[in-house]
C-alpha cells in the first residue's frame, strides 16, 4: 500500500515535470531562437540592431550587381512584401541565382543595408525533373491568370 | 530518523568534505577565471570584439570548469568504500543522489554564477547583458551538474575516467551551451532572451526530475 | 508456444539465437544485395535530373537513407538497451552493442555526404545549424556508447552502463528529426512525410526508398554477424575461465 | 531470518559458486570460509544487496531483498573490505556521519563512549587520514556499539587489529548474538571464532 | 642492471599503463577536439571572430586536456602504494620523475600538438599562423606537463597546504598560456612571433632543468 | 648489518617512540610488536628511508641510510601495508615491472615459477584489478621468490592470506634467513612467528 503510494507520487512528479517542460518548450518556440528573420521583420525593426543574425528570402530578380574590380556584390533579399539590400564580398554559391532562395548571415549597417559575411543558397524540398518543373510553372501561371481575371 | 533528516546529514557531509578540501574548489574557480581572462590577453583587448565574445567565452569556461570538477562527485566515495555505504542508506537512492548533486552545484556551480557578472563587466557587457548572462548561468549550471553526474557515475572505476566523462557528457552539454550563450547574445542584440531562457528552464526541470534516476541506476551498475 | 507454434522465448538465450542468426544472415544478405543493386540502378540510370540542382542531387540516394538509418538505428539500439535493463536479457544488450558501430557508420555517412552536398548547393561545407549540430551530437553519442563499452572490463557492467547512456541520449533523436520544423534553418524541410504526398518525382522517390530498404537489410546482416561474434567471444571467455578455474 | 536459496555468482563469465543454500536465524553466526579468491567477498556483497546474483534468491523476513530494499537496508549493517572512512573528516565526524547516514540517532555521549571503547577517544579530533591501519579498522569497529540493527554482514573484520581489539570485537559479536542478532562474516583467522562459530559455509574455490 | 635500463622499464611501464586501452588515447584527442569545437557554438561562427579567437581557444583547450590528464600522474601511484616503490628504485628520483613526465607528455601532449594544425585551419587560420600555433604548442605543452607535475606532487595527500599550492602552481600556467597564444596572435598580426616563442623556450628549458627536482622534493614531502 | 641508534619519531607533535636502539645481523629476524597506532609502520618507513626520524640514526653496513641512499636502496626490499600493484597491468606484467624497477634481472621462467609458487600461474594474464584481496597479497608475495637482496622490511605481510599462503610465506622467510638474509616485519598474528622469531621489539604505544 505504502509502496504503491510512493510509486504513484513518483509518477505524478514525473508527469508534472514533463508538463512544465513542455509548457516551457512551447513558450520558447514562440520566440526567435536562431536569429533568423524575414525581410518584413527586418523592416519592422524586429531584428537585432547590434548583433549578427540571418535573413532568409528570395533574391529579387534583377537586383544583383557586381562591383567592377572587386569581389563585392550587392543584391536585394525579399519576401515579396519587404526588401533588404545586402552587401557581400566573396564568392557566391553555384546555386545562388536571382529568383532563388538564399540565407545571408551578417550585421545591419548604420545605413540600413545588411553587411553579410556569409551567403548561402537555400532551395526548397521539391525534387523533380526540369520538364516537370516547367509544367508546374505553366500550371501556376494559368492559375494566377485565372485568378486575376 | 526520517528521510529528510538523513538527507540533511548527507548535505552536511558533502559541504564539510569540500570545505576541508578547499584546494579543489580554488583550482576550479581559478581555472574559470584564468580561462576567461586569457581572452582579453590573448586576443587583444578590442572592446567591440570582447563584447561579442564575452557571453560565449564565459559560458564555455563555466561548462569546462563544471566538467573538471565532475571527477570528484563520486570517484572519491567509490575509492574509499563510502559509496557502498551510501547505497545502503535507508532512503531512495535517487534522492540521495539529488542531494549530492545539489551539494556539487552549491560548491562548484554557484560560485561561477556569482563570479560571472564581474567577469562579464570586464568584457564590457552592459549591466543588463551581464544580468541576463548571470541568470542564464543560474538556470544552466544546475543542468550541467545533473547531466554530468550521469557521466561521472557511468565511468566510475573505469580507467581513463576523466577523459571518458568528457566524451560522454560534452555532447549532452551542447544544448545547454547553445541556449545559455544564446540568451546572453539575444539580450546583447536587444532581443528578448526569453525563448532561450525558457528552454534552459525546460532542460533544468527535465534534468531534475529524471537525471537522478539515471545517475542512481548508473551507480548501482558501477558497484555491481 | 507462440506465433507459428514456435517458442520464441527459446531464442532469447544467446546460445539458441546463435544458429538462428547464422541461418538468417544469407537471406538478408541476398535481400540487401538485390535491393542495393536495383536501388542504385534506379537512382543512377532511371531517375531524372533535378530542375534546380542538376546531377548533384543524386547524393540524395545515399544521404537520405543514411540519415534515416542513423536515427532509426539509435532508436532500435536504445530500445534493445531498455529491454535489456527491464528484463535483464543478455541478448538484448548484445543486440544494442552490435548495432552501435553500424549506426555510427551511417551517421558519419550522413554527415559526410551532407557536407559534400552542402558545398555545391548551399555554398558551405558546414554551418552550425540545428539539424547539422544535432546530427553531430548523435555521432558523439554513438562514439561515447562504444567507448564506454570498451572501457569497462566486466561485460555485464559494460552492457548496463552502455544501456543507461543509450537511453539518456534518446532525447536527441526527436530533436534531429523535428529541428527543421522547430527552427527555421538552412537544411531543407521534409520532402517525404507520412501525412502528405511526397514532394519528389516518383522515380527519385523509388530510388530513395529502395536504397533505404537496402541499408536496412545491410544493417540487419551486419548486426547479426556482429552479435554472433559477441556471443562467441563471451562464450569462449566463459569457457576459458571456467577451464582455468577447474585446473587450479 | 535470512534465507538464501540456490545462489549462483558469475564473475567475468566465470562461475564462482552455485547452488549455495543456507538460513541464518536469530542468535546465529555464519562463518563463510574458503581460500583466497573463492568468492567470499562476492557472496557478502550479494547478501548486502549491492550486486545481483546470476541466479537464486536472498530473502529477509520472507521478502526478496531486491524487492523490499528499503525495509531490508534499515535492518542491515554491512562492513566491506575497506573501512569506509572519509580521510578528510575527523575521527568523531566520521563516526557521527556514518551513524547518521545509516539512520541511527544517538546522543553525542554515546558516540564518545563508542570511541572510548575502541581506544580512539584521544584521537577524536584527528583527521582519519593520520590514523594507522589498525586504528582505521578500530574506528570502523566503533559503529558496532551504536548499532542495534539485527543483521550484521562483516567482511574480514579482524584484519589489522591487535590482540586486545580482536578480543573486544569478539565480545561485541557475542553480545549482539545474545541480543537476538545475526552475523555473517568472513575471516582467515579461524582460531578466533572457535568459541561461537555456530555454522560455517565452505566455498571450495 | 644499470640506471638507463631501469629508466627504460619505467618508461615502458608508463606507456603500457596509459596505452592499455586504445580508447583512452582516442578519448583525449576527442576531448581536445570537442572542447575546441564548443567555442564556435558558444560565440557564434563569425569567420573574422573565429580567426581571432582561434589560437586562444586552442591553447585553452590544450591546457585543459593536459590538466585533465595530470590527475593521474602521481595520484594513482600514491593511492595504490606503488609510489613508495618508485621512491625506492635504485636511481635518482629526479630522473625517474623526468621519465614519468616524458611519458605523460608523449601520450597526452604530443597528440594535441599533432592535431592542432587541423583544428587551426578549421578556425580559418592561414597555414603560416597554424604553423606558428603548432610550434608554440610543441614548445609549451611539455612545460604544462612539467609545471603540472609539481602541482600534482604537492597536492598529494597534503591538506592544509592544498589551497596555497593551487594558488602557487596554477599561476605558473598563465605565462605559458599568454606567450603561447601570444605567439600565434603575433603571427596573425604579421608581427614576428619570435619573442614569445623564445620566452616559451626559456620556460621549457627552466622547467626541464628544475621541474623534476621540485617534483621529486614534493614527492618526498608528500610521502614523509 | 642494520644499526639503529636512539631513534625518535614525532607525529603531529606527538612522540610515537624514542630511544629505540637495535641491531639486525645476517640470519636474524626482527619482529616489531605493539598495539594499533604504536608506531610500527612509522618505524618501518623510517628504516626504509621513506620518512626521516625526529632524531637518531639508521645505518646500513656502516653508512647512514639517508647519506648513502642509492647503495642502501639496492640492498633493500620494502613491502608497505598495501600490495603496491597496478590494477591495469596483468598479474605477470605486475611482477615483471616490480622486479625490473627494483633493478633485478630475472629470466621469464623464474617469473613463472614465482607465480606458480603463490598459486597464481593460471591467472597470469588477468588484470590485477580482478583479483580478490588475498590474491593481490599473494601476488605481492611472489616477488620474494625473485629477490636476493639481503634486507627485507615487511609491513603486515600475513594480512588477508589464507592458511596455506601463510605457511608458504613462513617457509620463504626461513630460506631467506638461512641464506644469510635479514628480515624486519610486523604482524598481529603472533602465533605464526613462534618458530623463528629471533628477536622482538616492543613498541608500547
Ligand atoms: C552535414 C550536413 C547535413 C546533415 C548532418 C544532414 C542531416 C540530415 C538528416 C538527419 C536527415 C533526416 C531527417 C529527415 O528525414 O527529415 C536529412 C534528410 C535530408 N537531407 Fe540532409 N543533412 C545535411 C546536408 C544536406 C544537404 C546539403 C542537403 C541538400 C541540399 C540535404 C538534403 C536532405 C534531404 C532532401 C533530406 C530528406 C528529407 C526528407 O525527405 O525527409 N541535406 N539530412
Ligand atoms: N600528523 C599527525 N598528528 C597526530 N598523530 C599522528 C600524525 N600522523 C600520525 N599520527 C599518529 O601516529 C600513529 C601512526 O602509527 P603507525 O601507523 O606507525 O601505527 P602502527 O603501529 O603501524 O599501527 P597498526 O598496528 O594499526 O598498523 C597513529 O597513532 C597516528 O594517529
Ligand atoms: N571480471 C572478472 N573476470 C574474471 N575473474 C574475476 C572477475 N571479477 C572477479 N573475478 C575473480 O573472482 C574472484 C573474486 O573473489 P572474491 O573477492 O569474492 O574472493 P574472496 O573469497 O573474498 O577472496 P579473499 O579471501 O582473497 O578476499 C577472484 O578470483 C577474481 O579473480
Ligand atoms: Mg575477500
Ligand atoms: Mg601499521
Burial (0-12, 13-18, 19+ Cβ within 10 Å), E2: exposed
- Whether residue A48 and residue B190 make contact (CB cut-off 8 A), yes or no, is yes
**A interface mutation test: which of B191, B193, B212 has the most A CBs within 10 A?**
B191
C-beta of residue B164 within 8 angstroms of C-beta of residue E27: yes
pLDDT value, residue A26:
82
Nearest to A104 by CA among A20, A47, A24: A47
pLDDT value, residue B85:
93
pLDDT value, residue E63:
84
Question: Does the pLDDT value for residue A1 go beyond 60?
Answer: no
Q: What is the pLDDT of residues D144-178, one digit of tens each?
A: 999 889 999 999 999 889 889 999 999 999 899 99
Question: What is the number of other CB atoms lying within 10 angstroms of the CB of residue F112?
Answer: 14
What is the rounded CA–CA span in Å between residue C144 and residue B169? 9
Write the residue with the smallest CA distance to atom 15 of ligand 1: C68
Query: What are the CA-CA distances from residue F120 to residues C245, C247, D191, F126, F165 (Å)?
Result: 11, 12, 26, 10, 11
Burial (0-12, 13-18, 19+ Cβ within 10 Å), F75: middle
What is the rounded CA–CA span in Å between residue E48 and residue E37? 16
Averaged pLDDT for residues C211-232: 93
F81 Cα nearest atom in ligand 2: 27
Between residues B112 and E172, the one the model is more confident about = B112
What are the residues facing D154 on neighbouring strands? D79, D185
pLDDT value, residue F165:
92
Averaged pLDDT for residues C211-229: 94
pLDDT band at B200 (very low <50, low <70, confident <90, very high): very high
Nearest to A37 by CA among A95, A82, A73, A100: A82
D132 Cα nearest atom in ligand 2: 17
The ipTM of this complex is: 0.84
Q: What is the pLDDT of residues B14-33, one digit of tens each?
A: 999 988 877 778 878 888 88
F132 Cα nearest atom in ligand 3: 17
Question: Does the pLDDT value for residue C110 go beyond 70?
Answer: yes
CA C235 to ligand 3 center in whole angstroms = 19
Question: Does the pLDDT value for residue E17 go beyond 80?
Answer: yes
C-beta of residue B172 within 8 angstroms of C-beta of residue B143: no
Around ligand 2, the residues with Cβ closer than 6 Å are: D 123, 126, 130-135, 160, 162; F 11-12, 14, 16, 34, 36-42
Chain D residue closest in CA terms to F138: D36
Write the residue with the smallest CA distance to atom 13 of ligand 3: D37
**C interface mutation test: which of D9, D10, D12, D17 has the most C CBs within 10 A?**
D12
Of C133, C148, C175, the CB nearest to B154: C148
Of A24, A32, A52, the CB nearest to B198: A24
pLDDT value, residue C236:
74
pLDDT band at E189 (very low <50, low <70, confident <90, very high): confident
Q: What is the pLDDT of residues E28-58, one digit of tens each?
A: 777 788 888 877 777 776 777 788 788 888 8
- Whether residue B206 and residue A33 make contact (CB cut-off 8 A), yes or no, is no
What is chain F's Cα-based Rg? 17
Judged by average pLDDT, the poorest of B188-192, C72-76, C215-219, F66-70 is B188-192
F156 Cα nearest atom in ligand 2: 27
Question: Does the pLDDT value for residue C2 go beyond 50?
Answer: no
pLDDT value, residue B76:
86
Q: Is A27 on the interface with B (CB under 8 A)?
A: yes
Chain F residues bordering chain D (beta-carbon distance below 8 Å): 11-12, 34-37, 39-41, 81, 119, 130-135, 137-138, 156, 159-165, 188-191
Determine the distance in angstroms separating the CA of C161 from the nearest CA of chain F, rounded to an integer: 18
Question: Does the pLDDT value for residue F15 go beyond 70?
Answer: yes
- Whether residue B80 and residue D82 make contact (CB cut-off 8 A), yes or no, is yes
Helix axes C60-87, C130-151, angle to 10 degrees: 50
Measured between beta carbons, the chain A residues lying within 8 angstroms of C182 are: 29
What is the rounded CA–CA span in Å between residue B81 and residue F35? 25
Question: Does the pLDDT value for residue C1 go beyond 50?
Answer: no
Between residues D75 and A52, the one the model is more confident about = D75
pLDDT value, residue B18:
87
Q: Is A145 on the interface with B (CB under 8 A)?
A: no
CA D42 to ligand 3 center in whole angstroms = 7
The range of the structural domain enclosing residue B48 comes to 3-223
Whether A and F touch (3+ CB pairs < 8 Å), yes or no: no
pLDDT value, residue A105:
84
Q: Is A146 on the interface with B (CB under 8 A)?
A: no
Determine the distance in angstroms separating the CA of A64 from the nearest CA of chain B, rounded to an integer: 29
Question: Does the pLDDT value for residue B215 go beyond 60?
Answer: yes
What is the rounded CA–CA span in Å between residue D153 and residue B38? 54
Whether D and F touch (3+ CB pairs < 8 Å), yes or no: yes
Of B26, B163, B181, the CB nearest to E27: B163
Ligand 2 probe mutation, D94, D118, D135, D141, most atoms within 8 A of CB: D135
Q: Is E26 left (phi over 0), alpha (psi -120 to 50) or beta?
A: alpha
Mean pLDDT, chain C, integer:
84
Question: Does the pLDDT value for residue F48 go beyond 70?
Answer: yes
Around ligand 3, the residues with Cβ closer than 6 Å are: C 153-154, 241; D 11-12, 14, 16, 34, 36-42; F 130-135, 160
Chain B residue closest in CA terms to D52: B224
- Whether residue C133 and residue E23 make contact (CB cut-off 8 A), yes or no, is no
Q: What is the pLDDT of residues A66-116, one digit of tens each?
A: 888 888 888 998 888 888 899 988 888 877 878 888 888 888 888 888 888
pLDDT value, residue B4:
92
Measured between beta carbons, the chain A residues lying within 8 angstroms of B209 are: 13-14, 17-18
Burial (0-12, 13-18, 19+ Cβ within 10 Å), A18: middle
Measured between beta carbons, the chain E residues lying within 8 angstroms of D126 are: none
Question: Does the pLDDT value for residue A141 go beyond 70?
Answer: no
Q: What is the pLDDT of residues B133-153, one digit of tens each?
A: 999 999 999 999 999 999 999
pTM of the entire predicted model: 0.86
CA F169 to ligand 4 center in whole angstroms = 19
Measured between beta carbons, the chain B residues lying within 8 angstroms of C74 are: none
Averaged pLDDT for residues E200-211: 93
What is the rounded CA–CA span in Å between residue F104 and residue F39? 31
Nearest to E110 by CA among E1, E28, E184, E193: E28
Chain B residue closest in CA terms to E67: B68
C-beta of residue E139 within 8 angstroms of C-beta of residue E201: yes
Q: What is the pLDDT of residues D31-72, one digit of tens each?
A: 998 899 899 999 999 999 999 998 899 999 999 999 888 889
Q: What is the pLDDT of residues B54-98, one digit of tens each?
A: 888 899 889 988 988 887 789 889 988 899 999 999 999 999 999
Determine the distance in angstroms separating the CA of A116 from the nearest CA of chain C, rounded to an integer: 14
CA C14 from centre of chain? 21
pLDDT band at C248 (very low <50, low <70, confident <90, very high): very low
Q: Is F35 on the interface with E (CB under 8 A)?
A: no
**D interface mutation test: which of B84, B96, B99, B216 has the most D CBs within 10 A?**
B84
Question: Does the pLDDT value for residue B220 go beyond 70?
Answer: yes
Mean pLDDT, chain B, integer:
88
Number of domains composing chain E = 1
* Residue in the structure block whose three cell numbers are 577524536: D124
What is chain B's Cα-based Rg? 18
Averaged pLDDT for residues E216-220: 90
Between residues E11 and B157, the one the model is more confident about = E11
Averaged pLDDT for residues A32-59: 80
* Ligand closest to CA C126: 1
Q: Is C106 in the pocket of ligand 1 (CB under 6 A)?
A: no
pLDDT value, residue E164:
61
Amino acid at each position: 500500500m505504502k509502496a504503491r503510494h510512493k510509486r504513484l507520487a513518483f509518477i505524478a512528479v514525473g508527469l508534472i515535470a514533463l508538463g512544465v517542460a513542455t509548457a516551457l518548450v512551447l513558450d520558447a518556440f514562440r520566440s526567435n531562437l536562431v536569429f533568423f528573420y524575414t525581410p518584413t521583420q527586418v523592416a519592422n525593426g524586429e531584428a537585432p540592431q547590434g548583433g549578427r543574425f540571418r535573413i532568409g528570402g528570395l533574391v529579387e530578380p534583377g537586383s544583383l550587381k557586381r562591383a567592377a574590380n572587386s569581389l563585392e556584390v550587392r543584391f536585394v533579399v525579399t519576401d515579396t512584401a519587404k526588401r533588404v539590400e545586402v552587401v557581400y564580398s566573396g564568392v557566391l554559391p553555384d546555386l545562388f541565382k536571382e529568383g532563388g532562395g538564399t540565407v545571408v548571415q551578417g550585421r545591419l549597417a548604420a545605413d540600413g543595408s545588411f553587411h553579410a559575411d556569409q551567403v548561402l543558397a537555400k532551395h526548397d524540398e521539391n525534387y523533380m525533373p526540369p520538364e516537370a518543373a516547367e509544367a508546374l510553372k505553366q500550371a501556376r501561371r494559368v492559375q494566377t491568370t485565372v485568378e486575376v481575371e | 530518523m526520517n528521510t529528510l533528516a538523513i538527507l540533511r546529514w548527507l548535505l552536511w557531509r558533502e559541504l564539510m568534505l569540500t570545505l576541508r578540501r578547499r584546494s579543489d574548489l580554488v583550482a576550479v574557480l581559478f581555472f574559470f577565471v584564468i580561462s576567461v581572462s586569457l581572452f582579453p590577453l590573448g586576443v587583444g583587448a578590442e572592446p567591440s570584439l570582447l563584447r561579442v565574445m564575452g557571453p560565449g567565452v564565459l559560458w564555455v569556461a563555466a561548462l569546462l570548469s563544471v566538467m573538471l570538477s565532475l571527477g570528484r562527485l563520486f570517484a572519491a566515495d567509490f575509492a574509499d568504500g563510502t559509496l557502498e555505504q551510501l547505497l545502503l542508506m535507508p532512503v531512495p537512492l535517487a534522492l540521495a543522489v539529488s542531494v549530492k548533486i545539489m551539494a556539487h552545484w552549491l560548491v562548484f556551480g554557484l560560485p561561477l554564477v556569482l563570479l560571472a557578472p564581474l567577469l562579464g563587466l570586464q568584457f564590457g557587457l552592459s549591466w543588463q547583458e551581464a544580468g541576463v548572462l548571470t541568470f542564464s548561468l543560474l538556470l544552466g549550471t544546475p543542468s550541467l551538474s545533473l547531466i554530468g553526474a550521469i557521466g561521472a557515475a557511468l565511468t566510475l572505476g573505469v580507467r581513463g575516467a576523466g577523459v571518458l566523462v568528457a566524451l560522454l557528457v560534452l555532447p549532452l552539454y551542447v544544448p545547454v551551451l547553445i541556449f545559455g550563450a544564446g540568451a546572453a547574445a539575444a539580450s546583447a542584440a536587444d532581443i528578448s532572451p526569453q525563448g532561450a531562457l525558457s528552454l534552459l528552464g525546460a532542460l533544468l526541470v527535465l534534468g531534475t526530475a529524471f537525471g537522478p534516476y539515471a545517475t542512481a541506476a548508473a551507480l548501482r551498475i558501477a558497484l555491481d | 508456444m507462440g506465433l507459428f507454434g514456435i517458442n520464441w522465448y527459446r531464442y532469447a538465450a544467446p546460445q539458441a539465437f546463435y544458429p538462428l542468426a547464422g541461418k538468417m544472415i544469407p537471406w538478408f544478405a541476398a535481400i540487401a544485395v538485390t535491393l542495393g543493386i536495383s536501388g542504385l540502378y534506379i537512382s543512377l540510370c532511371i531517375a531524372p535530373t533535378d530542375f534546380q540542382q542538376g546531377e548533384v542531387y543524386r547524393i540524395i540516394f545515399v544521404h537520405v537513407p543514411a540519415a534515416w538509418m542513423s536515427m532509426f538505428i539509435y532508436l532500435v539500439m536504445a530500445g534493445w538497451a531498455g529491454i535489456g535493463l527491464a528484463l535483464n536479457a543478455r541478448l538484448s544488450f548484445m543486440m544494442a552493442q552490435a548495432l552501435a558501430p553500424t549506426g555510427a557508420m551511417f551517421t558519419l555517412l550522413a554527415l559526410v555526404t551532407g557536407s559534400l552536398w552542402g558545398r555545391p548547393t548551399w555554398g558551405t561545407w558546414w554551418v552550425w545549424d540545428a539539424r547539422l549540430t544535432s546530427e553531430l551530437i548523435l555521432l558523439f553519442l554513438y562514439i561515447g556508447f562504444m567507448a564506454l563499452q570498451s572501457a569497462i572490463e566486466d561485460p555485464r557492467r559494460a552492457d548496463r552502463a552502455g544501456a543507461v547512456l543509450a537511453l539518456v541520449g534518446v532525447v536527441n533523436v526527436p530533436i534531429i528529426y523535428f529541428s527543421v520544423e522547430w527552427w527555421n534553418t538552412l537544411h531543407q524541410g521534409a520532402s517525404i512525410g507520412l501525412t502528405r504526398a511526397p514532394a519528389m518525382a516518383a522515380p527519385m522517390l523509388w530510388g530513395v526508398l529502395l536504397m533505404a530498404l537496402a541499408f536496412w537489410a545491410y544493417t540487419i546482416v551486419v548486426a547479426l554477424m556482429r552479435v554472433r561474434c559477441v556471443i562467441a567471444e563471451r562464450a569462449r571467455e566463459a569457457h576459458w575461465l571456467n577451464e582455468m578455474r577447474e585446473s587450479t | 531470518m535470512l534465507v538464501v536459496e540456490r545462489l549462483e555468482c558469475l564473475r567475468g563469465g566465470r562461475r564462482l559458486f552455485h547452488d549455495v543454500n543456507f538460513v541464518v536465524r536469530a542468535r546465529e553466526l555464519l562463518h563463510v570460509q574458503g581460500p583466497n579468491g573463492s568468492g567470499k567477498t562476492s557472496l557478502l556483497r550479494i547478501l548486502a544487496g549491492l550486486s545481483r546474483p546470476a541466479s537464486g534468491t536472498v530473502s529477509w523476513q520472507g521478502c526478496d531483498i531486491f524487492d523490499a530494499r528499503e525495509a531490508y537496508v534499515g535492518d542491515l549493517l554491512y562492513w566491506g573490505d575497506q573501512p569506509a572512512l572519509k580521510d578528510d573528516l575527523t575521527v568523531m565526524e566520521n563516526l557521527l556521519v556514518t551513524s547518521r547516514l545509516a539512520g541511527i540517532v544517538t546522543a553525542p555521549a554515546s558516540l564518545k563512549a563508542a570511541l572510548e571503547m575502541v581506544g580512539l577517544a584521544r584521537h577524536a579530533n584527528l583527521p582519519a587520514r593520520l590514523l594507522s591501519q589498525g586504528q582505521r579498522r578500530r574506528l570502523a569497529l566503533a559503529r558496532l556499539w551504536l548499532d542495534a540493527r539485527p543483521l550484521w554482514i562483516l567482511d574480514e573484520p579482524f584484519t589489522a587489529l591487535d590482540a586486545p581489539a580482536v578480543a573486544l570485537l569478539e565480545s561485541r559479536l557475542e553480545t549482539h548474538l545474545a541480543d537476538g542478532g545475526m552475523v555473517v562474516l568472513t575471516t582467515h583467522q579461524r582460531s578466533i571464532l572457535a568459541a561461537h562459530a555456530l555454522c560455517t559455509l565452505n566455498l571450495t574455490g
